[in-house]
Structure formats: structure tokens, C-alpha cells
Structure 1
Amino acid sequence: MIKLNTSYYKIFATLSVAVLISSCSNTKFLQEGQMLYTGAKINIKNDTLSKKEKSNLKEALLDQLRPKPNSSFLGLRPKLYVYNITKEPTKEKGLRYWLKYKIGEKPVLLQDVDREFNKKIIVNYSENKGFFNAKASSDTISKNKKAQVLYTLKPGARYLISQVNFPEDSTVINSEIQAIKDKTFLKAGNPFDLDVIKAERQRIDEHLKNRGFYYFSPDNIIVQADSTVLKEPKVELFVKLKNNTPQLSKEPFTIDKTIVFADYNLEDVKLGKYGIPYITDSVEVYKDLYVIDPQHKFKPKIFDRTLYFDKGDLYNRKDHNLSLNRLISLGVFKFVKNEFVVSDSLNHTFDAYYLLTPRPFQSLRLETLGKTNSANYTGGEVNLNWTHRNFFKGAEQLKGAIYGAADVQVGGPKDANNIIRFGANAQLSIPRIVAPFRFNSSSAYVPRTNFNLGYEYLSRTELYTLHNFNTSFGYVWKENERKEHDLKIFDMTLVAPQKVTEKYQTQIDGDDSDPLNIIKPNPSLQRVIDKQLIFGPTYNYTYTNTMLPKKNTFYYKGSLDLAGTITGLVSGADAKAGKQKELFGIPFSQYAKMEHDFRYYRKVNDKSTIATRFIAGIGYPYGNSTTMPYVKQFFVGGSNSIRAFRARTLGPGSYDPRNEEASFFFDQSGDIKIEVNAEYRANIYKFLNVAVFADAGNVWLINEDDDKPGGKFSKDFAKEIAVGAGVGLRLDFSILILRLDLAMPLRVPYYEEGNRWTFDRIDFGSGAWRKDNLILNIAIGYPF
């Protein structure tokens, strides 16, 4: 049973009464003769349409009508009430102005509704959908100073397409249209639909643009409908060019010259007849390209690899867009402009001009960050980042960074000691695949070869110090805007410990010298400070369509990590049999790891979304390893995971971390991870968003660990799932999203079986309960 303090009941009851009063009192602010407009209803009188067809038509028509009534929530109009009770401000700023005109909504009155105009909209939309004999009427339903407009539509019979004709002639453009007429969107037997006709015009235009007809436009196509041939409600369609189509639009063009202005500046360059700079003396000819780059900022071959037009090529829109997108994806140009100028109207050729304005090649950025997390750490971080976007004059990006951070524990039940980190890293990114084999990419995104090198120093004061070296070499390429591949041919991490304190070593070995405070051995802590050498290939695949304006969107990321596979096989490594092999005096890790991250976003309406995520991963040590490297294991809990539990304190399985004798929290890890998250997000005012969420999951071990009882994955894993839920507040300032999530555990896997659900222990009135169970997560960005 959930316990609530009596004062909470009073507050809730008071708010409920206030909301109910506000819903009834909006009409009292109306003047004599005014009526509040509450919306429109549409009644369709037609016996031939199915229930679903009527519903779809109603929904579409309602969306067309204007004005929209005042927004409502559960039948109430709180924004209208705020407007009504707020006095008229004396100036266009201040709290009163903000409340009345930003939070509040001006009442929409019946007199604001132009019923004749709306009837024309209903009839016009119906005709566009094939109801050529549509008629509409309206009536008003009023009560208690509220009014609703009822529109009645008599659409008549819907006209179907009887036949689609593409008249033939001897022109080149007509032959192109004839070649694709079999793929027309206009099908005999389908209803007449203006939206389908528009799509058909776009389809033809897209094909012609890819066949050289640069100057063609969808407006050059006319679709004539003839309903006089047949007595029944059917129309015959004729798809053809308009008589006034310009001759230039009917001719296919080929490329003559491709001219690149690599350092274009609108203010400094003299313009030609068509707004294109005159070709100056500083022209470098590279293959079929004319490159104008007086200061030699770029190697010409970068443009040969990026641009897809060659001399004599038939113009096509695909290569046109491909070239522009590839220039943009180089990341070195601030502005990219492209123009085509007719060079020979008789032979139908034009020159392609690319006007490129480079970004500043070098930049230096200083970032400071303050942070806190659910593990009671508060601290800050400083990053100094340097970027050169054209290091070898071929759009190669060289990035370097140095950083330092400190995290101090300011509370919590245990002393986890402070954390100090600093390090440096460098990355060289080359805009092509550097390999002994040929790699051709027709993607709009330039593939890249990446080299990375980094070092980090980490010190947990009074415990240990770790040195982490890492390097990698690999490729990143995108098939299209939805699919991306990231393959690291070689990815190596070396972790070396230093200054392991006696305090930490005692936690590993145990100490029974004091019978009143016996510290039991905890060998699992040794894995954190073991020397680790991890190397091998990794691969990540990402698919997403979340950038598209669709109601339902998806995100998927899959990763595969194979460490020490070939080396382990060649050397005959078998750690279980006592044949563990070493490189440079360090046992190398051998394992296979796989992880899948699925996300689904459903747009409920313009202001709310349901977001869900499912993560599953497994890491399997073999050969030269009996356990997964600690840095490659899975963790749960924290602001981007199961938010009702502090970061990395959950699992594995039903293992109870409270049993540890250490004077600090040891991060709990596992070889298997399952996590599910669901979140309802709603916008309540411009930058202000709220959320309700639930998280579930845990981590488990592949093999039994005597130091982690209950940690091994078994058929009863479902009984060891942790569950949490909460509410969130998100401040979306465009440049960043500040997120505050307040969560509480609903199911704790390390409690006694049968007593893991915590509903009967929820007590918001208890300060002790709130302290132990309410977790506040402060973070930047959405959790998923």
C-alpha cells in the first residue's frame, strides 16, 4: 500500500477543484453576444463509402478547417483560463505579458469562424479527391455560451480512373516519358486523386532530370481529365507536356567544362554575365577539371575524387546532388554553391561551376564542464581542443585534445574516494579509403580513414593509479543517410597499474588481524588493476531514419568486438589448461563481444512522443582468457540506463553489493546485459518538456564467481530483473538539453526472492525513505 501524508491529499484536492472551476468559468469572461468556439464536426452522407474511408476523409477535412479551437487537456482549457484571469499588461514585456500572451491563449470565438470559406475548403478538397459533385452545408450547435459548427458533406459518387493515356510524338523528351509510362502512379480503377497526380508529375520530372533535362520542371506537365466520354462516374486521363513548355526545357544537356573556385569569396571575386566569376590566369588543369586556387590551398585531386561530372557526361540530378553532398561532407567548406551556365545552345552543353568558400582551417576551443551524478560525485572537466581541417591540403582533419577532470564524492553511504583524470588524444581523418585495394563509394558521404592515438591517467586517490594507452586504425563510410559502417582493422588498449595502495590491496587479500572488523578477501577487485592488453578488430553498424518526418522511426546500432582471435589460435593459448600466453610480458585478452541497441520512436502528436529502447549484449571469454577484461564488460544504472539505481551499482544477477566489506563502492559489471526502457515525452511550453519513464534490466556473468553469489546467468534470469520508474523535466535550449530525472526503484533484484517488488514499502512522507530511494539524475541530452 502506498502511504501519502495528509497534506498531500489536501494539496491534490485543492488543485483538482481549481482545475474544475477553471474549466467551467472560461465563459464568464465573454461579452454579451459572444460564444466560445469549441470546434467543428463533419457529417458525411454517402452510402458507397466504407466506414474507414469516411473516417479518413473526415480526419483530412477537419485538418483543413480554420480556425482551430482553443487547446484543451482532458476537456479543460487551462491556457485560455490563464489568458482570461491575467490582467491586460501595460507594456509588451514582464511577467504579466508573458503569462497572458505566451502561456495563455486568446479565446477563439464563433464570430471568428468563416463558415462559407470552410464550406468552400470542404468542397474543394473533396473534388481533389474525386468527388466532383460534392456539396456542403453548415449549422451551429450552441449551449451555455459555447458553440460548435456542424458541417454536412454530400460528396456524391467518387470518380474512378477509366484509362490513362500518354500521347506520343517524335520528340526526344516524349520518348523518355514513354519509356517510364508503365511505372505510372495513375492506375485504371483507382480513384481520381490530385495528390497522386502531383506525385506522378514529380516522378516524371525526377526521371527527366536524371536524363539530362536540367531546365525541365514538373509544372511543364499537364494531366487532363475527361469525364464526358462515359455516363458512369469515371474519368479518362491524358498526361502530356503543356503547349507553352520552353524549348530549353525539352532538350537534354551534357557537361562541357567543370570549373572549381576553391577559394571563392563573393566580395573579392569579380562576377561574370551569369553571376559567375570570370576565369582568371590562375587556372590549374587537372584531368578534366579547371581549378582556380591562386593560393594553392587545396590539392586538385581532392576535387577529382569528390565531383561526379566528367566532360561529355549527360547531366543527371543524382550526380548533381551527390557532388554537392560530398563537398559538404568534406567538412572544410563553409559554403558550397553550384551553377550551370549554357556554353553552346546549339549542341546543348553547359559548364558546371562550383563556388566553394573554405572554413577557417584551424580552430581552438576551450570547454569547461560541471557535473554531478547519482553516485554522489560532483566535479568538473576542462577540455582544450585543436582542429586543422586541411592538414595535407586534401581536406584531411587533424584533431588534438588535452583534458583534465576531477570528481569529488560529496555524500553517500560509503567513501568512494576522489577521482582525478587527465590525458591527451589525437586523430587524423583522411577523406578516402587508404588501403592496398580499390574502394569505390557512390555514396553522398565521403568515406574516411581514421588513425587514433590516446593516453589517459586515472587516479582513485588512496586506492590505485591506472595508465591507459589506446590506438586504432580503421574506416568509416556511409551507404546513405540511414546506414553507417565503422570498421576498425586494429584497435588496441593497454592498461597498466601504478601505485596500488595498501588500503586497496587489503580489500583484495582480506584482513583478519582485527577480530572486530574482519575484512573478507575480495579477489574480484584484482581485475581492476591487472595489466590488460586488448587488441583486435571491431565493427559497428548503425541504421536510423529518425531524421525523417515520419510518425514511427527507428534506430539500431550493432557492434562486434573480436580480441586476440588470430594470436590466440596461432599461439595455442588455453588459460583454463594453464597455457596462458603473453605479449611484451602481459597476458593478452581473447574474447568475442556483441551488442545490439534497438530504439523505436512513435510520434503521438506534434507535442508528444513515446520512446522505447532495448539493449542486449554478451561477451564471451575463451582461449587466453577466463574472464572478460573489466573495461570491456557491461554496466547498468545511472542517468542513461536504469535511472532508479546509481551508476554501476546494480548486478550482476541477484548479487547484493551491500555485502561488500570495502569502504567504497566497487563498480558492478557483467558479461551479459539486458535492458529495456520506455519513456513518454511531452512538450508543455516551448523549451519546457516533461517525461514519465520506466526502466528495467540487469547484467550477469557467463561463468560462476564465488565472490559474486547469484551473479551467473541462468534460466531464472527474469526473476533478477531490476525495475525503476520516475518523472523527468527537460529544458530544451536548442544548443543543449538540460535533463533532470527523478526515479525510484520498483523492483530490487538483490532482495529476498518473493519480496523484490517494493510497492508496499513506498512512503513519500518518510524522509528516510526518500533519502534511500529517490535518485535525482542531472544530465545533458536525452537518455536515448
Structure 2
Amino acid sequence: MVALLPSCSSTKHVPDGKYLLDDVSLRILDEQNETSEVSTYDLANYLRQTENHKVLGGLKLQLAFYNLSGKDSTKWFNRWVQRVGTPPVIYDSTLTDASVSQLSMALTNKGYMNNHVTSDVRTNAKKKKVSVTYNIRLNEPYYVRNITYDVPNDTIRKIILADTTLYPIRQNSVFDHNNLEKEREFITETLRNNGYFAFNKEYITFFADTAAGSRAVDLTLNTRPPRTLAHIPEYKSHRPFYVRSVTFVTNYNPVTMQDGKYSGKQMEYNGINFIYDENDIYLRRSPLYECCYITPGEMYDASNVTKTYKALGRFSILKFVNIITNPVGEIDGRMYVDTYILLQRDKSQSVSFAVEGTNSEGDLGFGVGVNYQHRNIFKGSEVLSAKFNTHYESISGDVGGLINDNYSEYSGELGIVYPKFKAPFLKHSFKQRIKATTELTTSFSYQARPEYTRIIAGAGWKYVWSERQNQTHHTFNLVDLNYVSLPKSKSHFLDSISNPLLRYSYEDHFIMRLGYSFYHTNKREISPLSKALQQNFYTIRASAETAGNVLYGISKLIGQSKGDEDSYKVFGIRYSQYVKMQADYAFTHNFSDRTSLAMHVGAGVAIPYGNSSVVPFEKRFYAGGANSVRGWGVRTLGPGSFATRNSQNSFIYQCGDIRFDASIEFRSKLFWVIEGAAFVDAGNIWTIRDYADQPGGVFKFGKFYEQLALAYGVGLRMNFTYFLVRLDMGMKAHDPASGQEHWPMFSPNFKRDSEFHFSVGYPF
């Protein structure tokens, strides 16, 4: 079907006498546009009619798919094809005129009041196609010469002038009408954060004065007196408000209100009022108090309302939160408000079952699991969760070996999440500053592979918190314990590991680590107040962890002697000591809402020291797979120029202590939920020491770049908004392995060089 798409006539469904809108372009004629704040990318949003979407250099794939359909709408195939594709855009001259008007109006609002916009329409009657070019001449913009503030209220004037560098309007800036609205909103927010509860942006006006023949604008900001409020007759001038009382209504139900009052049992805790349903006291007062940033007696601050919303948003037991602030008038010369925090509870407990397909870097499998959750175990919205899962996995995508007990895992986890920073001896003010959740977990995993059986038991205590509209996330692992035991190993498996350092990775060991991870993105959430498309955004991920230092210090302090293996032990088990750091950066440039270019670079290093001579296997890096260099399967690349022995146990040698990855990927929406991609990957792993069983694997500054593996390929994705499924095909371009064809891209062999990856989510 795909092969037929280009051959379909693009005007198949264009009625006689009508024309297909074949191409739309914008052209800015001013030479000085390079220094202006106007781009055709932004102006395209104001067009009332655009052509059908193009991909792959001009192919209208969705239109071509639509044109595969016949005109008989009673046939299901025609209906399905038309629903998946997009119909031809029929040229409408009235929409072209409207686009000219919209473009001119938008430029006027941006300060280019002398702009001139025309349309050039070219018709090809024989092909039934029309092309439209919008010619835009910006001319010189108007600019703000001076800005003054006419604010009679001295207190408000002082607040406004405290720091004008944050305001959108600046001297000598382009006179952009959009910035006037932004400044009104910014000043209003600032005043409401400083007590002026009744202030709104309608009280701020601007007066623009321009001399004839001049592009200079003298701007004056004015504040108007407040409107008369019927319920507060004494409010005749802008005045700050103070908080008289704060009341939590934990079982809010508008039906049960009596004479506008909330019914229930009333209590008081540290100056905060609580109204409970006596038959359902599901939340303790102290957790709610710790989430309340609104304090009786203090000046009203709108930002504290927002903080309270966010803090209560971490309470899983709550399905509804609403904060109402009511002005109560003047008391002893001050204006006051009462605040009511209205809550409704959600279900406390739930049980869920899941059957899922898994893809661990290209290793296909499936699993079943059961999850029990109690969202309010200690009446503080603490979430208790218990999970049990069983998974079967096929190594390296070998679906034929999927149902095999040798490739299985059984795991369980018990955890509790506190919606606050949980630690002893902390003050209330500190807990409010650190908006973190606390997670305590214990886990157990039984893994059976052809080579060995492994048991992993773990426990952890960590803090998770976010900031800046959830654009920055932190995770701090205060302590993370892992005991790894290999009670059963095939004799030939351990015998095949002649290197004692690598052999250690597959023997019993204990890890006590401390770690921190950081995530930041400038990608904004889509909202009615923001543009639907952000042209550029990036993400940064970084983490660092260290293990064994406390135990090593204790061993030294008590004078513990080392055993035959020249290492200290705890409870008869060797413990690991290492440091591991890694960072990743990804950048995406959106050409439109349908095409983008994404880039990624990442690196990491893990160094054993003290009580360890090698990093544990599960903490080492590997290369290849769906999120690495996609010309190789998972754990089949590296380290360095090391060449695999093509044995069943070869994966144990293909891990390292240093990693580097880089990728560039072009993404385009094709039709329906289908997306296409073309990519180039580079990367490898290396060891920090020259191990005899991994020849060519050690990292050397003067040689590592020669050992970078290169791959290229294409992919198809199905984007269902909430999740994305992808199938990538990678081809080897440069193979650093010794004894292999180093540049297979010049003599490709599909069977030898190709690798398919099925995964969920974008690779970066």
C-alpha cells in the first residue's frame, strides 16, 4: 500500500471548478529581518488556510493515503482510509484575504504598525492546483522611548518600582502590545503576593503618546482606584489584606451546607481550624497543618495559596482540593480575609492486575503482576504498596526461547511513600521549605538464567522533590542496600571466567550505596496561555552514587582483618566499594508541529576502589540496544575493540566502566498515529583496567575515538499520545571489533549488519 501512495493523483478528490491548495509560503522582504523578533515560523500560526502536510522533502503522505479511497462511503475500507488520511485542502480566496488581515494585525500588535502584507496567488488550471505566497514588508517598528509610572498609592508604587528589570517592557524595546498584557499580569501577581488580595489587572492601564512622524512611544502606566464592593463598603482605596482565619473542611459536600456554613465537628490545631465529619476522620491534623502555607495574622500572599495547592496535590487520598478566600471587611483598621480549604477524599484501597509485554533494551518478554495499594495507611496520605511480579524474558530478542523457566524472574516489593520530608528532629519551617516525598522500600527478586541463579534482596530510603513547575526533579538516596547472592551457577559458566576480577561480579556481594540524581528540562507544559509548539527544548539528566565508604571506615576503625580474598566482609559477605557518575543531554528542535530533529549525548564512568577491584556486574555499563547504538543488539558491543567469542556466556565480557553515546534523529509524523524516523548513533564502552579476558577493551585517550561504533537506520513509531511504541532497524556503519569488517557501510550485508529493536518510548 505504501508503494502505491506516490502514484495516486493528489487532485483525485478535488471537485471540478475547484483547486487544491498545493503550496503556501511566507516571505519577509526586509533585509534587516535578521535582527528583528519576527520570523516566518511564528507568523505561520496566523494563516487561516495552509496546504496539506508534507513529509520527506515534499511528499503529502496523508493526502496520498486519503486518495487511495474510492467515493463509495458505504465501503468500510474507504471510510477507514479517509479517517486515517486527510482530505485535500480546497483553495478559498476569502481565507487568503483573511490571512493577509490576520498577518497585518499580528505584526501591528508586535510593534510593526507600518507593515504591508500582500498575497501572490499562482493558479495552474490544468493541474487544478494553487500556490500562495504571502509577501511581508515589516518596515521600521515603533519602540518605547520612555516609560513612566503614574501610581498615586505610595506603597503600591514602591512595590512596582522595587525591581523593574523583570518587567517585559523596557526602554528602547519594540512596542509590542503583547508585552503590555504580560506586564499587567506580572504587576498584578506581584501585588497579590504582597497583600493586595482585591487587586486585579483591570486596574492597570497604559497611555501611549507618539509624536506625528515619529516611531518613538512615550508610555505611561496608570493604576485606577478600586471599584466599590457591595459587601465591603469601607474598601474605597487599594489596601493590603491580612488573613484572619484558615479552616480545613475535610469532608466538603455542598449539599450538607447549612445557611452557607460548613457542617461538622470543629477542632483547632496550632491556630488552624478543622471541620471534620465525626464518622469519617480520615486525615490527621498534623499532616494537613504541615501542608498549609497560609498563616492567620500574616499579610495575604497569593503565592502561599499556590504552594498549599501543590503540597496537598501530593496527597493521594484526596480527589478534590479547592481553596476559597472570602473578604470579611475591616477590623481594627485592617482589611481581613478568611480562607477555607475544601477537601474531598478518594478511595483508600485498590488492587490491580497487569499483563504486560516487556522490552529490556531489546530483550523481549512478558510478565504478569498484582499490585495492592493503600493510599492512607496512617491517616496522613501515606501510600503503602505491595507488588508481586513474574517475568519471562528471551535474551537478545529470541522469541523462540520466550517460554522457558531458565529465563525467568519472580519479584516482590513492599514500600511506603510519605507525602512530606520524613526525618526526625526537623522543624515545621524546614519541612515546608523542602517539598519532598519520602520513600521507604524493601524488595526481593529471584532470577533464573541458563548460566546462573541470582537472588537480590534490597532496602532503601530516599527523598524525591520537584521545583519550577515540575521542570526540575531531584532524587536523593539516603541509603540503598542490596544483597546479591548466586546460590546456583553452572560450573562451566564460572569456569569460563578465568579473570578473577570479572568472576567477582558473579559471586555473592553486598552493596550499601548513597546516591543523587538530577533531571531538568525547559520543556513547558501546554496550556491555553502558551503557544502550542515550543521550537527548542532540552533535557539534562545526571546522577552520582558511591558505595561501601561507611562500611570501609568501620572496618578500618575496628581493625578488621582481610580474608583470603584480600577484602573486608560484613556478615561473611564481601561488600563493594566504588563511585559511579553519568550524565546525559538531549536537545530537540521542532521545525513544525510534525517534524523535529533530536540530538543526544551521554557519558559515564564507574571506578572501583578500596575494598573492590571491579565494579559489580549490575552497576557496570553496556552498549547496544534500543536506547544505545542501534546497529548492535543489547550487550553485544564493546568494550573498545573487544571481539565477542560468540559463545552463550559472551555477554559477561561485554560490559565496561566507561560509556559514551551520541545520537541524532530526524522525526516526522507521517499519517494517523504513524511517525517515521531516521537516525545515526555513535558510542561504545571501555574498561578502566586492561583485563586479559577483554583484550582491546581498556580506555586510552589517544585511541578511544577510533573505537567508536557507528550505526545508521530508520524507524517507525505509533504515537498514542500517552505512550509510544517504536520499531527501529539499525545498520552497522563502523565496527571497532578486532577481526571484523571495520567499515561495513561500504559493503553492507543485511544479515550480518542489521539489528531490529522493538521498544516503548523515544530513545531519548
Q: TM-score, normalising length from structure 2? A: 0.87
Spell out, residue by residue over 1:131-183, the C-alpha distance to the aligned partner (whole angstroms, 9 max, x if none): 44556555644344444456566766543333222224247545544555676
- Residues in 2 aligned to 1:655 and 1:153: alpha-carbon distance in whole angstroms: 59
Equivalent residue letter for 1:713? F
Counterpart of 1:202?
185
Among the aligned pairs, what percent are the same residue?
25
Counterpart of 1:420?
408
Out of 293, 297, 311, the position equivalent to 2:276 is: 293
Counterpart of 1:120?
101
Task: Sort the Cα spacing of 1:45 and 1:643 in 2 relative to 1 into closer, same or farther, 3 A.
Answer: closer
- Residues in 1 aligned to 2:348 and 2:216: alpha-carbon distance in whole angstroms: 64
Task: Sort the Cα spacing of 1:382 and 1:528 in 2 relative to 1 into closer, same or farther, 3 A.
Answer: farther
1:226 aligns with 2:206: no
Counterpart of 2:310?
325
Counterpart of 1:513?
none
1:781 aligns with 2:756: no
Matching of residues 474-489 of structure 1 within 5 Å: 474-480=462-468, 481-489=470-478
1:457 aligns with 2:446: yes
Task: Sort the Cα spacing of 1:89 and 1:283 in 2 relative to 1 into closer, same or farther, 3 A.
Answer: farther
Counterpart of 1:532?
509
Given that residues 555 and 600 in structure 1 are in contact (C-alpha distance below 8 angstroms), is that contact kept between their aligned partners in structure 2? yes
1:699 aligns with 2:681: no
Spell out, residue by residue over 1:100-135, the C-alpha distance to the aligned partner (whole angstroms, 9 max, x if none): 3540323322444352x4443344334323344556
Counterpart of 1:392?
378
Matching of residues 161-240 of structure 1 within 5 Å: 161-170=144-153, 173-174=156-157, 176-177=159-160, 179=162, 184-228=167-211, 232-240=214-222
> Is the partner of 1:529 in helix, strand or coil?
coil
Deviation at 1:379, TM superposition (A): 3.6
Task: Sort the Cα spacing of 1:55 and 1:241 in 2 relative to 1 into closer, same or farther, 3 A.
Answer: closer
Out of 533, 537, 558, the position equivalent to 1:553 is: 537
Counterpart of 2:90?
108
- Residues in 1 aligned to 2:166 and 2:642: alpha-carbon distance in whole angstroms: 62
Given that residues 27 and 146 in structure 1 are in contact (C-alpha distance below 8 angstroms), is that contact kept between their aligned partners in structure 2? no
Task: Sort the Cα spacing of 1:309 and 1:414 in 2 relative to 1 into closer, same or farther, 3 A.
Answer: closer
Equivalent residue letter for 1:198? E
Counterpart of 1:469?
457
- Residues in 2 aligned to 1:256 and 1:357: alpha-carbon distance in whole angstroms: 24
Task: Sort the Cα spacing of 1:155 and 1:603 in 2 relative to 1 into closer, same or farther, 3 A.
Answer: closer
Decide which moves more: 414-423 or 482-491.
Answer: 414-423
Counterpart of 2:529?
none
Equivalent residue letter for 2:111? G
Deviation at 1:246, TM superposition (A): 5.1
Given that residues 14 and 20 in structure 2 are in contact (C-alpha distance below 8 angstroms), is that contact kept between their aligned partners in structure 1? no
> Is the partner of 2:496 in helix, strand or coil?
helix
- Residues in 2 aligned to 1:162 and 1:664: alpha-carbon distance in whole angstroms: 72
Spell out, residue by residue over 1:608-641, the C-alpha distance to the aligned partner (whole angstroms, 9 max, x if none): 2222222211111112111112222111222222
Matching of residues 712-727 of structure 1 within 5 Å: 712-715=698-701, 716-727=703-714
Counterpart of 1:253?
241
Matching of residues 360-759 of structure 1 within 5 Å: 360-371=347-358, 378-408=364-394, 411=398, 418-438=406-426, 440=429, 446-461=435-450, 463-480=451-468, 481-508=470-497, 526-548=503-525, 550-572=534-556, 579-658=566-645, 660=647, 665-666=651-652, 668-715=654-701, 716-752=703-739, 755-759=741-745
Given that residues 653 and 720 in structure 1 are in contact (C-alpha distance below 8 angstroms), is that contact kept between their aligned partners in structure 2? yes
Decide which moves more: 307-316 or 144-153.
Answer: 144-153
Deviation at 1:56, TM superposition (A): 2.6
Given that residues 13 and 88 in structure 2 are in contact (C-alpha distance below 8 angstroms), is that contact kept between their aligned partners in structure 1? no
1:31 aligns with 2:16: yes
Equivalent residue letter for 1:142? T
Q: How many residues align?
A: 736
Matching of residues 332-343 of structure 1 within 5 Å: 332-343=317-328
Matching of residues 275-290 of structure 1 within 5 Å: 278-290=261-273
Given that residues 29 and 136 in structure 2 are in contact (C-alpha distance below 8 angstroms), is that contact kept between their aligned partners in structure 1? yes
1:302 aligns with 2:250: no
Given that residues 408 and 418 in structure 1 are in contact (C-alpha distance below 8 angstroms), is that contact kept between their aligned partners in structure 2? no
Equivalent residue letter for 2:38? N
- Residues in 2 aligned to 1:329 and 1:422: alpha-carbon distance in whole angstroms: 31
- Residues in 2 aligned to 1:182 and 1:408: alpha-carbon distance in whole angstroms: 59
1:129 aligns with 2:110: yes
Counterpart of 1:766?
none
- Residues in 2 aligned to 1:26 and 1:399: alpha-carbon distance in whole angstroms: 58
Given that residues 496 and 532 in structure 1 are in contact (C-alpha distance below 8 angstroms), is that contact kept between their aligned partners in structure 2? yes
Deviation at 1:216, TM superposition (A): 2.5
- Residues in 1 aligned to 2:563 and 2:572: alpha-carbon distance in whole angstroms: 19
- Residues in 2 aligned to 1:600 and 1:575: alpha-carbon distance in whole angstroms: 49
- For structure 2, the 5+ residue unaligned runs are 230-234, 527-533
Task: Sort the Cα spacing of 1:122 and 1:681 in 2 relative to 1 into closer, same or farther, 3 A.
Answer: closer
- Residues in 1 aligned to 2:61 and 2:264: alpha-carbon distance in whole angstroms: 69
Deviation at 1:486, TM superposition (A): 1.9
- Residues in 2 aligned to 1:312 and 1:727: alpha-carbon distance in whole angstroms: 63
Equivalent residue letter for 2:685? V
- Residues in 2 aligned to 1:504 and 1:239: alpha-carbon distance in whole angstroms: 79
Task: Sort the Cα spacing of 1:437 and 1:71 in 2 relative to 1 into closer, same or farther, 3 A.
Answer: same
> Is the partner of 1:639 in helix, strand or coil?
coil
Equivalent residue letter for 1:194? H
> Is the partner of 1:213 in helix, strand or coil?
coil
Task: Sort the Cα spacing of 1:340 and 1:636 in 2 relative to 1 into closer, same or farther, 3 A.
Answer: same
Q: TM-score, normalising length from structure 1? A: 0.85
> Is the partner of 1:636 in helix, strand or coil?
coil
> Is the partner of 1:219 in helix, strand or coil?
helix
Counterpart of 1:142?
123
Task: Sort the Cα spacing of 1:39 and 1:53 in 2 relative to 1 into closer, same or farther, 3 A.
Answer: farther
- Residues in 2 aligned to 1:617 and 1:528: alpha-carbon distance in whole angstroms: 19
Given that residues 173 and 251 in structure 1 are in contact (C-alpha distance below 8 angstroms), is that contact kept between their aligned partners in structure 2? no
Equivalent residue letter for 2:78? R
Structure 1 vs Structure 2 CA RMSD: 3.5
1:64 aligns with 2:46: yes
Equivalent residue letter for 2:436? P
- Residues in 1 aligned to 2:139 and 2:731: alpha-carbon distance in whole angstroms: 58
- Residues in 2 aligned to 1:114 and 1:482: alpha-carbon distance in whole angstroms: 40
> Is the partner of 1:301 in helix, strand or coil?
helix
Task: Sort the Cα spacing of 1:264 and 1:504 in 2 relative to 1 into closer, same or farther, 3 A.
Answer: same
Higher CA-based Rg: 1
Counterpart of 1:353?
340
Deviation at 1:446, TM superposition (A): 3.2
Deviation at 1:282, TM superposition (A): 0.6
- Residues in 2 aligned to 1:331 and 1:589: alpha-carbon distance in whole angstroms: 37
> Is the partner of 1:670 in helix, strand or coil?
coil
Deviation at 1:343, TM superposition (A): 2.4
- Residues in 1 aligned to 2:573 and 2:537: alpha-carbon distance in whole angstroms: 46
